[in-house]
Structure 1
């Protein structure tokens, strides 16, 4: 049990090095995002083959994200993180040597695909450790810090550092450099988290019982209506984020005469803002109320921000600073969904791993659904129509928040918590 003095602005002290591990690990994992597809085509493979490599990787990552919550619960998060770390390093070496090194396409598919299982197992197992360790009423702020570290890793360091390393060591050297970051992040987690938290009761189940628990990552969707509705909300949460990455370059660069550099800078502003707003909304959710914050600042806020992302630049034309405004707005509002991570296990307190697995699944589905909507709708309703579809989905999610019933624990004052701990009546971790 944590007391108020055991966290810094919602960051649990006992998990501090775990957050650092996530940031460092995801920095290495993100190195390749900006150039690997081009590097594969430069080796002589077709764009379709390059896309297939990433498709297989994405499918593996989605499967790992879906199952990671339950896996972490039944073998302990620390063991799951260790497995994810080891799989990443081994598969990356094999991918570099036998795949890229030999220009062997089947080996590239095999080893890069298996590596796709690794990062979700590492980072989402840490989410499970947060849920198991942090008191229920502080999970929202703790998850705000998690997503902030994730953004720092893959969105900032992982995106920008290769722009400096590639001129000095080349693309291949940068891919090898990524291993150093992943190893550092993995070792931090292995040595600094080994004595954190207590072993879950699920880790003591028999093999047959563990398999049964693993199936709950599927069955819970129709046995718990609130989990299903929360899943829909989480899918909609980042639908504009993934969708705008597809359609907005067409608008900004193709029609409004922004340069690609200007568009990328506008998009980078969004990611930079989320570093701070993830933490901010994680803490505020404890005071405002989880679902109230998601409804008004997340759903309604993202609906307004989505429209602004289209109409402000269309109205004012090629004006960089006007275009930055909706990027900042979107960075503020999309992070207001942070408390959803606390909502899922609260809706299914006896099967937290399965609940977190569904949360992870919905996050992955958002990455798939958003561009799918764009690709289907663009020929019929153009960019503005897609923006309105996304806006309508956010408003629909707002309605769903009125249906979900979740008990959010009260936030105790320092004196109340001391009294609760003195008499053994403190809130248990979720």
Structure 2
């Protein structure tokens, strides 16, 4: 027999479904929360070591600082635009676009910017890559807001912020520490 999920869909009960229901995670969004947490772990691990690694590989401190400044500006603009773009293209497409942007600019950032010791490629690709994670993350937030019933929305948004912060601020330092050993 099917049972209603917190987000209003119907699903067969199971042990994982029961746990998700109990803690207030909409089943239809559970993988999205996991993906958000993983995305933010990656972003946090990178923030912890990238500056020192780049300086250690011959890039100047001012170049690295400029790179992070450009990234912050593009990430801020992307976060600001995410709600409107979600209305135009839909949250799932926005998440896909964010993922594609991130990968599309990460590859040349590593291959030509870092490995090729090119400051201009480093600045361009890392800066443009800054558009990726906010489109993914805030596209997912818009999906949560559009999907979850009003009486469960506060809990669902709380889980969004839990996955975001747990990935970026809590688990990423642990992952970075483990990988540096």
> Per the shorter chain, which TM-score range?
0.7 to 0.9
SS at match of 2:169: helix
Asked if 1:76 is matched to 2:90, the reply is yes
| Correspondence for 1:130 | 144
Contact kept? 1:91, 1:114, Cα under 8 Å: yes
Asked if 1:10 is matched to 2:16, the reply is no
Question: Could you say what the CA RMSD is over the residues aligned between the two structures, in angstroms?
Answer: 1.7
Number of aligned residues: 166
Looking at structure 2, the residues matched to 28 and 118 of structure 1 have their Cα atoms a distance apart, in angstroms, of: 13
Q: Deviations over 1:84-125 (max 9, x none)?
A: 111111211110011011111110000000110000000100
Give the TM-score normalised by the residue count of structure 2: 0.85
Shift of 1:156: 2.5
Looking at structure 1, the residues matched to 22 and 91 of structure 2 have their Cα atoms a distance apart, in angstroms, of: 23
One of 30, 36, 39 as aligned partner of 2:44: 30
Which runs of no fewer than 5 residues in structure 1 stay unpaired? 168-430
Contact kept? 1:33, 1:159, Cα under 8 Å: no
Which runs of no fewer than 5 residues in structure 2 stay unpaired? 1-6, 10-17
One of 19, 29, 32 as aligned partner of 2:33: 19
| Correspondence for 1:327 | none
Shift of 1:137: 2.6
Bigger relative CO (Cα 8 Å, ≥ 6 apart): 2
| Larger CA Rg, structure 1 vs 2 | 1
SS at match of 2:180: helix
Shift of 1:9: 2.9
Looking at structure 2, the residues matched to 8 and 146 of structure 1 have their Cα atoms a distance apart, in angstroms, of: 16
| Correspondence for 2:99 | 85
